Structure formats: structure tokens, C-alpha cells
Structure 1
Amino acid sequence: MAKKAQRNQDSFMQTLLDGVESKLELKTLHEKDLTDKLLSVFAGPIGIAPGYSKSGGLVALAIADDMYCLIVQFYSNRPTTGNNARGRGRGGKQVERPNKERDLSGRKLLEEFILCREGGDLLAFDFGPLSMSLYCGVDLRITNGIDIQSAFSAVDRKPLSAIKDAVGDTLRIFEENVINVFQNPLYDPDKDQHCVSDLAMRAWISQYLFTIGNGAETFTKVVKINTKVLTPQTLDILAKMTQDSLRLAHLKPSEIKHTFMMTQNWDGPGVRSGAFQNRLRPGQIVTSTVQNAHGATYRLHGHTGGVDGRAANLDLSRPLDDTKTILTIKSIGRDDPTTAEAHRAATVLRILQGNLELLADNAWIKNIWFPAAPDDSGDTLLVWPPEWTARQAKANSAFPSSGDNNDRHNLNKSQQDAVDAMLSRSDTNRITIIQGPPGTGKTTVIATYVKEALERCQGGIWLVAKSNVAVINIALKLMSAGFMDWRLLVSQEFSHADWHGHLYESISSNFIRSNEFFSMSLNRIKGCKVILCTLSMLSNKLLKKFVNQVPVNTIVVDEASQIEVGDYIPVFDQYSTMLRKMCFIGDDKQLPPYGQEDLQDLQSIFEITHLRRLCLFLDTQYRMPPQIGAFISTNVYDDKLNSNSKHPISNSIIACQFIDVVGAKEQVQATTTSLINKLESEAVLKLAQHLQDHGKNYKIITPYDAQRVLVEDKMKETGLQWEEKVYNVDSFQGNEEDYIIISLVRSMGLGFLSNLRRTNVMLTRCKRGMYIVSSRAFLHKGPGKGSIVSELSTYVGDIGWLEMKDIETDDFLTNPKKQDSVEV
């Protein structure tokens, strides 16, 4: 393997930097084979580079100087439990080794002679995550670690940008080859023969930059990383912050197959993206399958050019004309980090580089990640700066409790308690956490709080959420409450007329696109006291004029249970001098942070143990018919959730019905790994036709995106209204509709139904009625038996089951035999 890798290595050496020749001796071995003799050959600056498993565990490390490159393969030496263990090794799995003492000796040699050698500089791209991978993956510390990107001014921190800054005009850079070498950090020689040479190349270029021009002087000025001086508690927290982010990055697909349609542009054929989730973006590396006029197919490589909404230009290796048809487009490489993700990584890097004031002086970071020891009662005391308390006590003295406010007559007791906690500026309520099950009026609580806060002169309010849709829901609630003194900030891409522009039509005078931030007149925000945006938008560097007008004094986070707690690090860092209050509203029985099912130990603010005691519970739901609400209360919320006794759908009406689709089978869609169920889709269409014919408001939701596409396509074919009708479960949290049609899809395994949180979201969207399309055999005798949906079908009993023939009649909704199934 070493000889083959050597040939690849020489080839790459000469195609990254023109005129540079380097013939390395490349050797690949396991950590147990390290010897003093081999390690002693390294002299001068050393470049290192990591190789990761699919799950983000460190499995290999390349070490290079100008003559030698050593690749060490790691195996975990610790007992591990999935991803919860600090030492993950090869994908989080323990690998038994025959000679433990010899392995530990090799590890010790690596740390002593390479990673912590006296007076020796280590250089690496993205050294922050690498240092934490060495610590939590294989229990190794480093000293004198130089993060290469920290030496240069490129804000994107891409390796290519740093290499350009380092090389300047002295050498020609083959940019595409650099991108190819750095785009995939995965190390699996059995599946990818180039991963060894790519890993060696990344290590070699790291040390080579030190030798170019005034590289030595440039890199010497960079503050070095020394994990030996940090306490285990600090390292454990930083490692979790970093590893969570790294593992989430690895969940991003390395290849995306795009849905699109061909169009004719003024300069030739073009394409239009079909879905926002897999849209084409500027600068993506793409591979296209093209068919000519004779039916022959071939592949073209290239990249995307300009993108405007759905429209995208392709710069391919051969030009296209009217006789060519693009059959497929696949982009290669993971999406770049967002501004917020980059800010989070930069904050952790600064701490690793010795800026410990971020931990010592930032009250938010200290109280969430480094709390004081519990008191005698076992409660963790949150400690806030005394000057905050003194100022707030004076401000609060002028405003008594608002419990008797006339605007609150529609709020129940738990909602009023939540509003009071949000208004309070005492240290006890400086962090306010509110759990709101489905339909309990979370956005009503937010709207009431905003109005009362401004009456108390508590300005500087920022309302944020993970998704743009959740932010829009808050805006619409404020508008319905008669409050319009706010502005909504949204990315140009999301709000483009081709994508979601229609969502903003009713609030056109109150929202501002990101492309307007720089040149916008201050008159557009003059006098405004409330700003709405996504959490990620708070990291936008052009927010200064908004922050000057509306200081970030209070942040209210909606759907906080969907946000990984590390995502708040940029906010706590950037706004620490002005931020005085955080309100987190969500429900840890609904959708978790993205990736939690795969990574297990991701946490939202609700999973932080010492903060959980602060949580207030909204105890009454107003959305679902009481019969459904009672079932959800018992099976999800420990009988703590009450239902509105005045709900228009009484228990005499069957609000939930199951459609027994005999013989329905799940299938893997040919072009994806997602599932479809064709017989279920036919039943869904029949139900949709009935509801549309009778003027009922309805939505269709399904766990699998392929089924969503199938149903939507069939609705188009049959002439049904299809726009804004079909959703997957994740995209419908926070939404509701009078009637909900659910297609479970599954017939041979639990799959989605094993996830209680997502199933809870699916079952709690209806205001008047719900139809669940599945198979009785699957839910009562098959793999679905015992799931919460199976329990619901037993709960409604035989009267709640319909057969296909029941929904095939034209008078399905008005047939006297079925009149008790839907209120007409």
C-alpha cells in the first residue's frame, strides 16, 4: 500500500503547486508500530492532518515534514457506548487489540516526540477541531499547535483561501486540485484508494506553507494551542462543543442529486431547481449526465455559475446546445459552514488559543456550561454579575406584576405565569424556560409578552427561531394581536419570489431582505423596538445598524427544543455586553435538534440538567379535539396536559379515523433511499378529493419525503389543489390545520414510528379531525403493534376504522352512516 500511495502522492504534489517537487517517503501503519527510530527522522516544522470516520471519529493522523510522511491509524483504547463515550476511535466502536501495553507505548511516543515535542511547531488547517479530536478521540494532548487559517485574513477560513494568501504570486495554484484534496476528510482506504494520498497531501501542504517566503515569521505570530494547560473540565466541555459541531458537519451529504427542469436561457440551455431543500447553489462542483439527439449518454463535469432563485447556470466541460438534454445533476462536496457555524468554531478556537476570559467573564457561557457547584438543597446556583442585578432591581421597582392586565383575559393560569417569568428581570428568571406542548399557545404567550414588555419600556427584544417558517409564524401572531411595531430580517435566498416570497406578502412592509442590509435607510427601522430573525441570522456581520437601533437586551427563542445548545455560543460571545435576558420556549417531546437521532448525545437547552428545574409547563391545549388531546396527554405528557373543555368538536364526533389499506407495501424509491407506498397514496388522494369537494381546509403529512413527492405529483395529475398541501413531518412542526391526512407508509418495519417525538408531532396537528392511512394488520399484528399509533387505533376502537370501499363513495362525508366521522 505504501508504494501505491507514494505514486499517488508524487502526482498530487506536482498538481497542487506548479513547480514544486517533493518526493516523500510515505508509510502507513498502526499506532502500535511506532518506534523511536521512525519518529526521530522528523525535524523542523511538522504538518499534521486528520482522517475521520463517517461518524466523525478520528481514525488516522498524517504527520509530515519536507522528507517524510507518516500516517498513523488509530483504534479506540477505551470502552465506548455508541457516541456517548469521549473516546470514539473508529466510528465509536471498541476494537479489541492483542497488545495493550505496546499500543499505549506507541501513543506515548506520538505525544512526546511529535504532538508535544519541545520547541517544535505543529501546523494544521482547522487546528481547533483537530486538537479536540485528538483529546476526546484518542486521549492525546498537543502543544505549540498553529492554526493555519489564523495567520491570514480570509473570513471564509477555506484552505484554498489560506493557501492563496500564503503563496501570493510566487507560485501558480491549481485551485480545483486543492479543492479536491481538501473536500473529503473521510479516511477509509478499503473504499477510497485516494484517501491515503489526500490525507498525506493535506499534512505536507500544512508544513510546506511554513517554508514559503516569510511563512516562518507569519506563523510565529499566531497564538498557539496548548491543550496541556487546560483543565479536564474545560477540555471536556470544549471537546463536546467541537465534536458535536464536527459530527453534525459529517451528517451533511457529501453528494446531492438535484431535482430540476431544463430551460432555455438567452445564451443557451439552463436549469431551474425543483426543490429548495436540494437547490443548486453558486460555486458547486457538479457532474451531469447528458443525452444527445441520438440517445447516447455521457458525463460532463464542471461547476455552477450564477444562481437567481430557481434559475442556475452550469459551466460544464463541454458546451450544450438545443439537441442535448441533461438527465441528472449531482453536486459533489458538503455545504460550507454557515456564518453562525464558523463563528462558533472561531469562538472555541480563541479559547483553545488561551483566551480564557471568554469562559471566566461571560456569564451566559459560565452558567450554562460551567455552573457553580450545587447548594445544600442540590440546586445549582446561577451566578450573575452584581451590576446587572442592581440596575434591574431599580428598573423593576416601577412596574408591579401584570397579572391583572386587561390584555390577559384570554390567558390561562399557566400562560400568565409564563408571561410573568418572561417579564421578570430578577436573577431567578434571567434564564426562563417554558415547555409548551402542541396547541398550548406558545406564540400567544410570546405576543402577550411583547406587548406588555414594551408597555414597561423593556425594549431591545429579539424574537428568534431555528427556521424561517417558525419566525414567520411569530410575525403573523403579532400581526393578529394588532401589534406591528417590528421588523423581520430574512435571507434573500429563502424569501426569493421563486421560493418563499409568497409567505411574506401579508407582511411586505415589515420584512427586510439580507441583500438590503448594507444600503438600507435607517428610516425603515426608526422607532422599532422588536426584531424577528433566525438564530443563525444573529451572526450576520451586517446587523450593526439594527443592533444600534434595537440593542440585543432580551432574546426570546421559539422552538428552542430543536436547537443544539452549542448554537448559542456565537450569540453569547457577540452580544455578551448587552444581553441580559434569555427566554427559551419549546417542547422536548417534539422535534429534537437536527442529528440527535444519529448522534444521541446532542442537547437542547431542555436537556441541560441543572437548568431543567427552571422549566414552566403550559398545561392546556386548545388545538386538538379533547378525545385526541386526552390520548396524547396520557401517552406523552404523563396526564399533565389538559384540553379545552369548550372545543367545538365534542366527544360525540369521531375525530380520528383509520383507513385500512389492505396489501399496502412500503417500497424504496428507485432514485432515493426514502420510502413510498403507492396504495396508501391512492387512499390519500380519495380523502383529499372529498375534503376539497366539501370546501374543507386540510393538509397531508407523511414521514418520508419520497412519499410527499409521490402524493404531490399524483395531485397535480388528477387536478387537485396541490400547492402548500403536502408536507413531511419535520417541516410541519408548529403548524396546524382543520383536517389532517396522514400516510404512515410503513408496512414491514417500525422505522419512523419508533421515534416518539416525531410521531407526537405527526399526531397533534389537527384542529377538527384526522385520517390515518395505514394497514390494520400492520398496526395490530405486524411490526407496528405496540407503537403509539397502534395504541391510538386501539383507543378509538373498531368504530374508528374504515375500509377503502367506505371512502370510494361520492357521498363519503355526507353519508348518514359516516356523518359522525367528520363535522359537515
Structure 2
Amino acid sequence: PTRSPQFAMAYQTVIIHQDILKADCPPIPTISIHENDLSTTVLSAFLLSGANQPIGLSAAYGTRRVMQAIAFSTSSQVLVVKLATKTKPTVKKKGKKNVNGHSQPGRQLLRDMILCAKHRKVAVNMDRIAISLHIDLGMHIVDGVDLVSAMRSEQFTADDMVQLLGGQFAAHKATVANLFKDDSYSADRLRYISLQAWVAQRAAEKVQRLHALPAIHTGTLDQHHLSSMAEIHRNGDRLVALKPTVVKNDVQKDLTEKLGKLQVSSTRYKTRLRFSASQTLQLEMGHKGQTIKVKGRAMGVEGKTATITISGAKGSTIRAIHTIGREDPTNAEALRSKVIRLFLQRSAGFFNHYFSQSIWDPSTSLSTGGLTSAVPADIVFPHRPLNPSQRKAVRAMISDEDRHRLTVIHGPPGTGKTTVISACVTSLIAGRD
């Protein structure tokens, strides 16, 4: 079998054949190079392959979600740069050339000729790339556009990406979904990171009014706020990476069939079957005393019952079901991504809110002056006695002092956090009487 092209430690050129677009496309020459081997000649030749074109970007990340490689694409060529991992980010400080005290000429060329040059750069999840450049490499990006901003659902879906590429008659949905489902780094994933950048570039050429989409210029943002937002983003990315990619679903063995689809009942809430456009099911079914494996997908869920379509022979009983793929983002995760993207695009005043300032930038939090609302003179909670720490917490919550505008109640399970909140509510209600 043909081996997948791998990242080069120095410099190599491979030819990649795409299977995303249905139209015939020429093979894509792909240069894989280590950042220490970058030169003006290499970068100039790459830029000449797509003069006046938007440049597609993609990146691959390690287990700690640190950027390991970054890819750039014109319509006819891809350049993949393997990043050095043993040096610290070269974030400039006043009076110093960089943090680690030595120059990195390849990285500087990358910055000057592509990242901070006046080329429009496009990517799926450009927010992650921009933040990783800042937090991992100490570098900015100029004129970076996130293709998610052009998607109807405001988050990446294979359906929306296919539409950007020209619709179902122009692109294969299944291969699009498979291409963008993973951005992890490994030596044999050169093809994936290359095609991700190439597909982003092709989509950018088809997006109407690309110039009207909001651009990301991280160098013009407040750097303290950018670092705070980068920490939020990176921590969220690491939590998502901890989510399992395979989950065994606890279900009843018996099943029913309706209109050619299987109906299966979950027996445990935590491992229940869920509808997801990005996940598939692996079913082990009993059939004439044997176990057969078939693939399926949950098409809908109502209560404990999931409706499943399968491809292949059906069995009479369910022996096991596994959900393959990470679960879709929660509403909170999707909103977090949107807020971060809007911040990078300078479309949201996230750090103008007192709540945000109190957590991430308390030195800029301004006094709001005296409030006119009545504050209860004492704690009113007749339901049960409060211990000293609970009373202290309630007093802080009902206080009008600026230092208590943001009060965090924390503690192990069973220590009375809910009781504190209840006491705060009853005290505030009593104070209005």
C-alpha cells in the first residue's frame, strides 16, 4: 500500500492528489520544510505560484494543543512548515530583541513575507491559528479571515463547507467531513494539513464579497486582553481534547423496526444515544447465533428512544453499540468560540463589561458609585443555621461594595454552596420589604 506523505525534517516535495472536489484538478505540489530551513527563495517562489490570490492556512497541534506545523496554500501549491518545539516564543519585550535572546531567521521570514504581509489569509478556525501564533510563537497575523464567519450556522459544519465550495455537485461531503474532523499532529498527517489549507484557499476564491468579511489583525489588539483570551481558548481546546472519541452506549438488547429504521432504547443517561451530524455508530448485532458488525447513524432521539439507520445486514438483537467521534460542541462551547472570534475581529467589547474586567483585568475595573437599591441589614434565612464561612459568603454576596461586585462561591460537594445561594436570595427578598 502507498504510504502517506510525512512531514520533513528538512526539505522535500511531494505530490498530493485531492479527493475533495468532484471536478478534475491538477496534482498539488507540496513542499514540506522545517522552519530553520526557510529562505527568501523558498517563500518567494511559493508566493509567485499564487500572485494576487488569497492564501489558505491550516495548522496541526500536539497533545497539549500547541501548534506543531502550519500550512499555506495557493491554488496550485502548498507549503507546510514544521515548527521548532524546543525554543520559547519570541514575544518581544521593551528593550529586548526577543524573550529567548536569539534570533530565529526562518520564523522572522515567515512573519515578514506571509503572516504580517498584506496578503489576505483564510482558514477554517482562523481564531485558533491566530491565538496559537500568539501564545506559542509570539507572532501576530495580519488580514486573517475565518471562513466560519461566512457559514450560516456560525460554527464549522461539513454542510456549510460544501456550500462554500460550490454545493453538493461540486464537493464530496463525506471527504470534507473526514478532512476537517481532526487537526492533530503526527508524522503521517502531511496530506491532511496540506489539503485543509488548499480547500480553504479554494473556498475563499468562491466566497462572494470575501473582502467584506471581518479580518483578524492581532497586532492591533490590546495585548493583555489578547493573552487573556488566548488562555481561555487554549484551556477550552484542551478540555475538548479530553473528550472521548469512542463511547460504549448502554442500550436494551431488544429492538424494533419502523419504516426500515431501527428503534433502540438507552438504559443509562450518561451514555445515551444522541443525534449528531458528526458522529457515527458501530453496532454489534446478533444474527443466527453470530455477531455481525454494521455501521449506523442516529437520525433522531425522543426521550430514551433513538432512531437509527444502518448500512448492511440487520440482526435481531443488539449486543453492543459504540458512538464513534467526539460529541458536538455544547451551547456554552459554541458561544465561547463565537465570543473569542468576535473579539479577534474587534466586533465585541468583551472586556468593557465589569464582570470581565473583574476577572481578567481587575486593575481597570472602575467604581460604579453608590447604588440606590436597599441592602438587607442582616442575613434572613430561617430554614437552617449557617456556619461562619457560609455567613461570610452570604454577606459578601448581598454587599453593595465594589470589592464584592464579583463574588465566587466554591467548595467541594456537600459543603453548602446551594444553601449559601438560597440564603442570599431570601435575604435580598427580605431586604425589599
TM-score range, shorter chain: 0.7 to 0.9
Alpha-carbon shift at residue 108 of structure 1 (Å): 1.1
CA contact (8 A) 1:280 1:304 kept: yes
Q: Quick one: distance in 1 between partners of 2:412 and 2:157?
A: 45
Contact 2:355/2:406, CA 8 A, preserved across alignment: no
- What is residue 173 of structure 1 aligned with on the other side? 171
Counterpart Cα distance in 2 of 1:280 and 1:21: 40
**Is residue 197 of structure 1 aligned with residue 191 of structure 2?**
yes
Matched length: 407
Shift of 1:362: 1.3
Task: Indicate which of 199, 202, 207 corresponds to 1:208.
Answer: 202
Letter in 2 for 1:276: Y
Paired residue secondary structure (2:275): coil
**Does 1:31 pair with 2:9?**
no
SS of the residue corresponding to residue 39 of structure 1 reads helix
Distance 2:41 2:3 in 1: 18
Question: What residue is the counterpart of 2:106 in the other structure?
Answer: 106
Query: How do residues 442-457 of structure 1 correspond to structure 2 at under 5 angstroms?
Result: 442-457=417-432
Distance change >3 Å, CA 177–CA 8, structure 1 → 2: farther
Match of 2:325 among 323, 326, 333: 333
Structure 1 pair 205–315 and aligned structure 2 pair: CA distance change class (3 A): same
Q: 1: CA distance between counterparts of 2:192 and 2:334?
A: 24
Quick one: distance in 2 between partners of 1:395 and 1:366?
23
In the TM superposition, 1:78-93 aligns within 5 A as: 78=87
TM-score by structure 1 length?
Answer: 0.46
User: What is the alpha-carbon distance in structure 1 between the residues aligned to residue 203 and residue 68 of structure 2?
Assistant: 25
Give me the whole-angstrom Cα distance separating, in 2, the residues matched to 1:31 and 1:144: 22
Give the match for residue 99 of structure 2. none
Query: How far apart, in 1, do the equivalents of 2:242 and 2:136 lie?
Result: 18
Say yes or no: does 1:352 pair with 2:322. Answer: no
> Partner residue of 1:314?
308
Alignment of 1:801-820 (within 5 A): none
Give a deviation string over 1:710-741, Cα, whole Å, max 9, x none: xxxxxxxxxxxxxxxxxxxxxxxxxxxxxxxx
Structure 1 residue 125 displacement after superposition: 0.8
Q: What residue number does 1:410 align with?
A: 385
Q: Residue 24 of structure 1 contacts residue 68 of structure 1 at CA under 8 Å; is this kept in 2?
A: yes
User: Is 2:14–2:29's contact at 8 Å kept on the other side of the alignment?
Assistant: no
**Aligned-pair distance for 1:244?**
0.8
Higher helix share: 1
Which structure has the higher relative contact order (CA within 8 Å, separation 6+)? Answer: 2
Which residues of 2 match residues 614-629 of structure 1 at below 5 A?
A: none
Q: Specify the alignment match of 1:395 in structure 2.
A: 373
Establish whether residue 383 from structure 1 lines up as the match of residue 376 from structure 2: no
Counterpart secondary structure, 2:327: coil
**Which residue identity does 1:233 align to in structure 2?**
H
The structure number with the bigger radius of gyration is 1
Distance 1:431 1:144, change over 3 A: same
Letter in 1 for 2:273: L
Query: What aligned pairs does 1:245-644 form with structure 2 within 5 A after superposition?
Result: 245-267=236-258, 269-283=262-276, 284-293=279-288, 295=290, 297-322=291-316, 325-355=317-347, 357-359=349-351, 361-372=352-363, 382-384=365-367, 386=368, 389-390=369-370, 392=371, 394-396=372-374, 399=375, 401-403=377-379, 405=380, 407=382, 410-434=385-409, 440-457=415-432
Q: Does the residue aligned with 2:64 lie in a helix, a strand or coil?
A: coil
Q: CA deviation at 1:181?
A: 0.9
Map of 1:807 onto structure 2: none
Q: Which amino acid aligns with 1:286?
A: L
Q: Which amino acid aligns with 1:38?
A: V
Shift of 1:365: 1.1
Unaligned runs of 5+ in 2: 7-12, 92-101
- Does residue 242 in structure 1 map to residue 233 in structure 2? yes
**1:131 CA drift (Å):** 0.6
- The runs of 5 or more residues in structure 1 that have no matched partner are 87-99, 374-381, 459-824
Give the AA of the match of 2:38. L
CA contact (8 A) 1:115 1:143 kept: yes
Alignment correspondent of 1:748: none
> Does residue 1:221 correspond to 2:248, yes or no?
no
Q: 1:316 to 1:438 in 2, by over 3 A?
A: closer
Task: Determine the C-alpha separation between the residues in 2 that align with 1:115 and 1:439.
Answer: 51
Alignment match, 2:98: none
Q: Cα gap change, 1:368/1:280 in structure 2, threshold over 3 Å: closer, same or farther?
A: same
| Aligned mates of 2:416, 2:295 — CA distance in 1 | 51
Paired with 1:7 and 1:319, the residues of 2 have a C-alpha distance of: 41
Distance 1:429 1:210 in 2: 48
- Letter matched to residue 128 of structure 1: D
Contact kept, 8 Å, 1:125 with 1:206, in 2: the verdict is yes
Tell me, in whole angstroms, the C-alpha distance in 1 between the residues paired with 2:295 and 2:423.
55
| Counterpart Cα distance in 2 of 1:78 and 1:356 | 34
Would the aligned equivalents of 1:2 and 1:27 in 2 still touch at CA under 8 Å? no
State whether structure 2 residue 69 is matched by structure 1 residue 60. yes
Deviations 1:213-250 (A, max 9, x none): xx2x4221111101122343222212111111111111
SS at 1:433 equivalent:
coil
| 1:276, distance to aligned residue in structure 2 (A) | 2.4
User: Structure 1's 411 and 329: CA in aligned 2 closer, same or farther, altered over 3 A?
Assistant: closer
**Residues 259, 29 of structure 1: alpha-carbon distance in 2 compared, 3 angstrom cutoff:** farther
Please state how far the C-alpha of 1:8 moved relative to its aligned partner.
8.6
**How many angstroms does 1:3 deviate by?**
8.1
Contact kept in structure 1, 2:285 and 2:315, CA below 8 Å = no
Partner of 2:80: 71
Going from structure 1 to structure 2, the CA distance change for 1:408 and 1:273 (only over 3 Å counts) comes to closer
3-state SS in 2 of match to 1:140: coil
Q: Does the 8 A contact of 2:66 with 2:136 survive in 1? A: yes
AA aligned opposite 2:121: L
Q: Distance in 2 between matches of 1:344 and 1:437?
A: 26
Aligned to 1:50, which of 55, 59, 72? 59
Name the CA shift for 1:434/1:281 in 2 (closer, same or farther; >3 Å).
Answer: closer
The residue type equivalent to 2:339 in the other structure is T
Cα distance change of structure 1 residues 4 and 416 upon mapping to structure 2, 3 Å threshold: closer
Contact 1:8 1:197 in 2 (8 A): no
- In 2, Cα distance between equivalents of 1:29 and 1:67: 17
| Residue type at the aligned position of 1:281 | R
Post-superposition offset of 1:114: 1.6
d(CA) in 2 for partners of 1:229, 1:63 = 23
How far 1:185 sits from its partner (Å)? 1.2
- Flag as ranges the 4+ runs of structure 1 deviating above 6 A: 5-8
**CA distance in 1: counterparts of 2:74 and 2:135, whole angstroms:** 25
Which of 18, 21, 42 is residue 17 of structure 1 equivalent to? Answer: 21
8 A Cα contact 1:62 1:71, kept in partner: yes
The alignment partner of 1:372 has SS state of: helix
Counterpart contact for 2:286–2:315, Cα < 8 Å: no
**8 Å contact from structure 1 (residues 269, 320) kept in 2:** no
Write the letter of the residue equivalent to 2:272: R
